[in-house]
Amino acid sequence: MANSRDMGNPQQGMSEQQYLAQLKSTFMQMPNDIPLYMFVQKGKEDMFVQANRQIVRAFRELTNKIAFKEFSLDHELAKKWNVTHSPTLLVAPERFSIRWLGAPLGEEGRTFLETLLLVGMNQSHLNEEARKVLRKIDSPRDVKVFVSPTCPYCPQQALNGVQAAVEMPDMINLEIVDIQCNPDLAEKYSAHSVPQTYANDILVGQGAQSQEIFCLSLQKLEPQSVFIPDVDAELVENDLVIVGGGPAGLTAGIYAVRSGLNSAIVEREALGGQVATTPIVENYTGFTQVGGKTLVDIMVSHALQYTTIFQGEEVLDIQPGDPVVVQTSRRKFHTRAVLLATGAVHRHLGVPGEKRLSGKGVSYCSTCDGPIFVGKKVIMVGGGNSAVTEALHLHHMGVDVTLVHRRDKLRAQDYLIQNLKDAGIPVLWNTEVQEIRGENKVQEVLLLNNQTDETSTLATDGVFMAIGYSPAVELAQKLGLQLTPDGFIKHDRHRTGIPGIYTAGDVEGGYKQIVTAAGQGAEASMVLFEDLLNPYWMQKKEAS
């Protein structure tokens, strides 16, 4: 059977009906039943309680292996399993220590499905390297992964926790904490951005981690950023490795496979790149208005009809040649071409307090972290399309947001500016954030009016930033590729200058729209397909 991480989406060439049929059959073959126990405080029938009932009902339509029982929070079983929050959903508590505090809503639905499959199969599906690290843990770890339903990075991290808990049931006690349902816990842990992971009350991860890094962070009880595998990786031979699973990479995958190239996409973070965290997209042809994550899901399903996607895996090194050798954190590819579609990373302000309070009120993702600030006061820094789109998103969510822009004119499209005015969102013009202050969480910002040189403080619960992106050129630099003066990969029709190495999307510059990134991906695949049939580097050799 496929890895449970692959089961959250329909597989290659599969319709939705076929996917559901496969799920049913997978559930049927599972050796174990899955008891689910929900604990609810008497008289507290909130939306999370109702959501749990609905979600469980939907899954029980797929399988009779799920047994569901409800208990009051003062039931003796609550004491036995130390349940204190309402609602809490326990998954097979006699065998594992896995619980949801809240409900697996939105993005977490995927995690929940994968949890049911892993628990039913009694298999963690962790890779061997991660497993080896986990086995070194010799005392229990109480793990809390804070998530929100709209966070596209959260399922990966929550699933890491589930896999660890299934692999080491005696050592890993997992709580997946929905911050919207549990603001008290979010406050206690100063978890003001998601995903955020604690083990034995120590912060071990901000953001989504790979399986190996997650396990290493649990073992060491401090956040890790580097994992070096100590065995020879699996070898895969194919025609094309695409680095990056945003619109450029996904589209390139579709075009490459349709041309007959055996291709794989490798993405270290969430699929979809920046689009995954864009609240609403209104200018991608064919969609008048679509949520960024919904658009990503559609693109990923489409890409999976053709190409393999290795998500949560990092490309560590690329050695050009024939074959090109690509070393990832899990395997080695011998391939004919590599397409760098590594996108861009969000910029930082670089002011005092920003780094220290990151995740504690400083946020770069309104889609992920917005729900924590409902009813609270925040600022959004920036004046481009992203800042305005995200300020509108926060406003509509019920957050009291003020836009802070360093000039007297916005860079955003007129249409968005009009929406901003219509929503009545206040704007502080000619204003720069000089410092972000607060002890354990953001409390105020120091502002400078760059026209009058006056400084002032503004009390705020959060500082959101959307001040543009820098191209992600780490691998390109390692390869010694030339960059433009603006820092993008220099290219000629997506050819980088090194035979077999190509580029597409935001990392090569251009208009940085979803539709143009997808176009760049398609074009790059067609160029490299033609080159592989008729290599330009061989022609050059023959000519000389």
CB of 483 to ligand NAP, least distance (A): 18
Annotation says 369 is catalytic: yes
Tell me if 475 contacts ligand NAP by CB under 6 A.
no
Stretch that binds ligand NAP, among 31-39, 133-141, 329-337, 404-412 (CB under 6 A): 404-412
Q: Which of 196, 389, 460, 525 binds ligand NAP (CB under 6 A)?
A: 389
Helix, strand, coil shares, percent, the chain, to 5: 35, 25, 40
CB of 351 to ligand NAP, least distance (A): 9
Cα–Cα distances (Å) from 172 to 179, 200, 215, 235, 486, in that order, read 21, 10, 11, 32, 46
> Cα(451)–Cα(463) distance, rounded to whole angstroms?
22
Q: Which of 127, 385, 460, 503 binds ligand NAP (CB under 6 A)?
A: 385
User: Which CB sits closer to ligand NAP, 347 or 437?
Assistant: 347
Size of the site for ligand NAP (CB under 6 A): 19
CB of 399 to ligand NAP, least distance (A): 19
> Cα(507)–Cα(342) distance, rounded to whole angstroms?
6
Left (φ > 0), alpha (ψ -120 to 50) or beta: where does 307 sit? beta
Site for ligand NAP in 505-524 (CB under 6 A): 512-513
What's the CA angle centered on 499, arms 493 and 500, to 5 degrees?
80
Amino acid at 284: Y
CB of 411 to ligand NAP, least distance (A): 4
User: Which CB sits closer to ligand NAP, 249 or 383?
Assistant: 383
Contact 295/287 with Cβ under 8 angstroms? yes
Question: Environment class of residue 544 by beta-carbon count within 10 Å: exposed (0-12), middle (13-18) or buried (19+)?
Answer: exposed
Which residues 6+ apart lie within 8 Å of 407 measured at CB? 383, 429, 430
CB of 439 to ligand NAP, least distance (A): 24
Tell me if 179 contacts ligand NAP by CB under 6 A.
no
Tell me if 406 contacts ligand NAP by CB under 6 A.
yes
Annotation says 154 is catalytic: no
Tell me if 387 contacts ligand NAP by CB under 6 A.
yes
- 445 phi, psi to nearest 5 deg: -125, 150
Which residues 6+ apart lie within 8 Å of 39 measured at CB? 70, 71, 72, 73, 75, 77, 78, 83, 86, 87, 88, 89, 90
Amino acid at 288: T
Q: Which two three-digit tokens encode residue 25? A: 């059959």
Stretch that binds ligand NAP, among 102-110, 213-221, 367-375, 383-391 (CB under 6 A): 383-391
Stretch that binds ligand NAP, among 39-47, 68-76, 138-146, 384-392 (CB under 6 A): 384-392
> Cα(151)–Cα(194) distance, rounded to whole angstroms?
7
Contact 308/12 with Cβ under 8 angstroms? yes
CB of 381 to ligand NAP, least distance (A): 6
> Cα(308)–Cα(478) distance, rounded to whole angstroms?
25
Q: Which of 163, 217, 386, 419 binds ligand NAP (CB under 6 A)?
A: 386
User: Which CB sits closer to ligand NAP, 332 or 406?
Assistant: 406
Stretch that binds ligand NAP, among 74-82, 215-223, 323-331, 403-411 (CB under 6 A): 403-411
SS3 call for 267: strand
Q: Which of 194, 349, 380, 436 binds ligand NAP (CB under 6 A)?
A: 349
Stretch that binds ligand NAP, among 105-113, 197-205, 385-393, 518-526 (CB under 6 A): 385-393
Site for ligand NAP in 454-473 (CB under 6 A): 466-469
CB of 21 to ligand NAP, least distance (A): 38
Tell me if 446 contacts ligand NAP by CB under 6 A.
no
Tell me if 411 contacts ligand NAP by CB under 6 A.
yes
- Pick the catalytic residue: 151, 365, 506, 531? 365
Site for ligand NAP in 277-316 (CB under 6 A): 283
DSSP-derived secondary structure for 126-152 = --HHHHHHHHT--S-EEEEEEE-TT-T
Alpha helices for 221-373 (secondary structure H): 247-258, 292-304, 366-369
User: Which CB sits closer to ligand NAP, 44 or 407?
Assistant: 407
Q: Which of 169, 291, 323, 384 binds ligand NAP (CB under 6 A)?
A: 384
CB of 417 to ligand NAP, least distance (A): 12
SS3 call for 280: strand
Tell me if 403 contacts ligand NAP by CB under 6 A.
no
Q: Which residue is nearest to ligand NAP, using beta carbons?
A: 384
User: Which CB sits closer to ligand NAP, 136 or 407?
Assistant: 407
- The number of C-alpha atoms within 13 Å of 515 and in the hemisphere containing its C-beta is 7
Provide the annotated active-site residues: 365, 368-369
Footprint of ligand NAP on this chain (CB under 6 A)?
283, 349, 381-387, 389, 406-407, 411, 466-469, 512-513
